């Protein structure tokens, strides 16, 4: 999912998606370690998805901190 699409999600939806994506990464790593992973590229895609989610969350946190400081 692109960052633009992630920015449209609510904070709760972002948190749930991050949790699910981290679980998916854990399962992919487990499959990789046991030799059952069919598509190793999926590991990289999942890591990037997590990074995007964390970036959007950080942007929102900074925006809230800035807005609270100005108000």
* pLDDT number for residue 71: 56
Tell me how far the alpha carbon of residue 57 is from its chain's centroid: 9
Q: How many domains does the chain have?
A: 1
Buried b (16+ CB within 10 A) or exposed e, 1-40: eeeeebeeeeeeebeebbeebeeebeebeebeeeeebeee
CATH of the domain at 47: 1.10.287.310
Residue 24's domain spans which residues?
3-70
What is the model's pTM? 0.89
pLDDT number for residue 1: 81
- What does pLDDT average to over the chain? 94
- Name the band, by pLDDT with cuts 50, 70 and 90, for residue 8: very high
Q: What is the pLDDT of residues 13-31, one digit of tens each?
A: 999 999 999 999 999 999 9
């Amino acid at each position: 999912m692109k960052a633009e699409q992630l920015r449209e999600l609510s904070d709760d939806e972002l948190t749930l998606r991050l949790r699910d994506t981290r679980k998916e990464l854990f399962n992919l790593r487990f499959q990789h370690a046991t030799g059952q992973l069919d598509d190793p590229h999926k590991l990289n895609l999942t890591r990037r998805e997590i990074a995007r989610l964390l970036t959007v969350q950080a942007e929102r946190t900074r925006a809230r901190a800035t807005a609270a400081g100005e108000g």
